[in-house]
Every structure is written in structure tokens, then in C-alpha cells.
Amino acid sequence: GNKGAVWVARRIPDGYISGHANQARIRQFPLDDPDNCLYSEDIISLAREKGYYTGKKDKNFSFTDAYAPLDYGALRFCEARVWAGFRKVNSKMNKYEDYAIGDNAKNVMPLWIKPDKKVTVQDVMDLMRDHFEGTTLDMTKDIGAGPFNNPYRWRPLTWEVDSVAYCNERAITTQQTGFSFVAQSRSWLPNEIGGILWFGVDDASSTVYTPMYSSITEVPQAFAVGNGSMMEFSNDAAFWVFNQVSNLAYTRYNAIHPEIEKLQQELENRYVAYTGAMDLAAADLLKKDKKLAIDLLTEYSVNQGNNTLKKWQELYTYLFTKYMDGNVKTLKQIPENYKYVTPNIKQPGYGANWYQKTIKETGDHFKMRKLEGEEGHH
């Protein structure tokens, strides 16, 4: 049989962005514009041969409709993520919500959109952290979020009850992410300096995107291949340390995640602020000694990676101590001549909404009652 693949690639216009989420999105494409569109020679003929396309005119051929036709899962699990990302940077995307949730497959989103403003590296980081907040798919709102508004659902993605199929949402950010990154390419800088991989491990919502210059000759021990594995825990592997923090947050998300986010933003803001100075220093050194410039960028990247790990190790010990066993503990000032004092302890419970749901489901099962004659006792 035939070997190889059929493919099409389109150039995204300047000033626009596109997105893909495990689902082909290119439909009709120009057949005679090689500067902006390339494709395999047999892309249409193979579709005709297989019966995927029966139209009379090649110009009406749709790659998506032929090779990856949309079904409900493609919309709800894939296109919905693209929509969620688009709406982060374009205020007019809500009109495609019915498409994203699988209610109107004909209301097709454009392949690319123009953002309301120029997109920054940190805008893209934020885009990676979306859980459909503020939409009808908001994962913090339904019963699966539990009492603490947790926007994560354990796999499998689909499930059945009484032979009827149901699904969980598939957001951009998800608990089983191994690593993610934002690739920054700056053509106006020398190759050794212009590329930065903002690299993070585990769940994007609680990761820290740490700068790794593209010319580095060494990686931080925190990110090194062989430092732990899926079945080998390592105390100094960023993957495992970040999983410790995020999995703790899943137990009381609405309280713990804001604390994670605070340190996350502090570190990322600092790394972004450092970038300009590091670019200048490396560019100046590059004119004199290329190896020294690369050594500088390597040392900087390694140090930032190790710093991220250290800060997250400290964060885990702080969060675990504060939130273990469902209590929330904070330090209390130790009086003079005392060696120890018990901390301030709060027991926030589950929240009014969850208690109301509990009563609705269980009736008087948990209702406190007085025994006969109890009122006269002290």
C-alpha cells in the first residue's frame, strides 16, 4: 500500500494567531499560492480515491471534512479549547460558544483571529491556564468541582450511566500534563540569544514558566532526563515537586491555588523582567567571545531552573503545614519567655453552598437532634 501522509500547511498572516487542539482545522485552502500555502501532491486525489471527497471542483475541497470530519467529541474536547484560547485575546469570540459546546457545528470558528492587542509572552502563559472560566463550560461551577471549586476531573474523559454516554470537560490546562512551554523567537537578536523556551512541568495552571535560552549547553538538574520517572519519585525533580504542590491544591483548591498563583506570578514577573538585562549582557559578550556568551546564558538558565525548584520545595512545606487535615493554621506570635505557642487554627468547613447541597440530598440524615429530656440537662 501507499506510505506517507497527506498534509496541508497555511501561513498565518502577520498580526493574527491560530490554534490547534488535536483536531484538524484547515478547511478550504488556496491551491496556487505557494508562498502562503503548501500541501502534499496527492491530498485531493487520495481523498477522491478513498471516497472522502466527491465534489466536482478541487477548489471546494476541505481537508478537515475529508480527513478529520467533526463529531461531538471533536467540538467539545478539541475545538472548545481553541475557542477558550481565542476568547482570552479577542473580545468577540463568545458568538462561537454554541460551536465550542457542540450545539451548532455549522457556526465554524475562523482558522485564525486578530487579537484585540499585541500578545505578550505572559498573555500566552495565561492562555495555557484556562479552565473555561466565565463560560457555560466553567469547570468550577458544576457538581464535579466539589465543595472547593476544583476545576479538574479525573479520567476517563467519557463515562456511561444506564448505557447513556456522558463526558467531562477537556480544558486547556489539565492535571496530567507532563510539561508545557511557550516558545519565544526573536528574529532581531542573534540566534544564540533570540530563542527562549519558557518551560514548565505538570499542570500549566500551577507551573512556573522558567526561561531556557535556546543555545544552552546544560539543563538544570530539576529538568534533567533520568532524574526520576513516572514510577521513581525524586525530591529534586521539578516534575515531582510541582506534582506535590498541585495535588495538594486539588484537595482545597479555592484556598490553596491562590497562594500558588501568587508565587507563580512573582517568579514569572521576575524572570520576564530579567530577560532584557540578560539579552544585553549576552549580546555584548557575544561580540567578544561566543563561548563565554553561551556559558553566561547556560549559567543563567540553569540557575533560574534550580531557583524555581527551590522555591517550589519551600512552597510545598509551607502549604502542607498550613492546610493538612482540613484545618488552616497560621503562626501566632510567641510571647516572651515562651518556647512554643499553638498556632491560630481555623476550620472553614465546606461552605454554605455545599452544606445546602448536602441537606438537599440527605434530608435530615445529618440533622442534630435532642434526646428526650435533654433540654433540662446542663
pLDDT for 293: 98
Three cell numbers, residue 118: 499585541
d(Cα 185, Cα 191) in Å, to the nearest integer?
9
pLDDT above 70 (res 376) = no
Cβ proximity of 98 and 107 under 8 Å: yes
Bridge partners, 2 (sequence order):
none
> What pTM does this model have?
0.94
Q: What share of the chain is helix, strand, coil (3-state, %, to 5)?
A: 45, 10, 45
Mean pLDDT of 311-315: 99
pLDDT above 80 (res 16) = yes
Max distance between CA atoms of the chain, in angstroms, equals: 93
Indicate the residue type of 318: Y
pLDDT for 373: 85
pLDDT digits (tens, 9 = 90+) for 97-117: 999 999 999 999 999 999 999
Q: Where are the domains of the chain?
A: 1-117, 120-344, 345-376
d(Cα 149, Cα 251) in Å, to the nearest integer?
10
d(Cα 191, Cα 213) in Å, to the nearest integer?
10
pLDDT digits (tens, 9 = 90+) for 44-93: 999 999 999 999 999 999 999 999 999 999 999 999 999 999 999 999 99
- Grade residue 378 by pLDDT with cuts at 50, 70 and 90: low
Mean pLDDT of 162-166: 98
d(Cα 78, Cα 22) in Å, to the nearest integer?
6
pLDDT above 90 (res 4) = no
pLDDT for 2: 73
Cβ proximity of 116 and 89 under 8 Å: yes
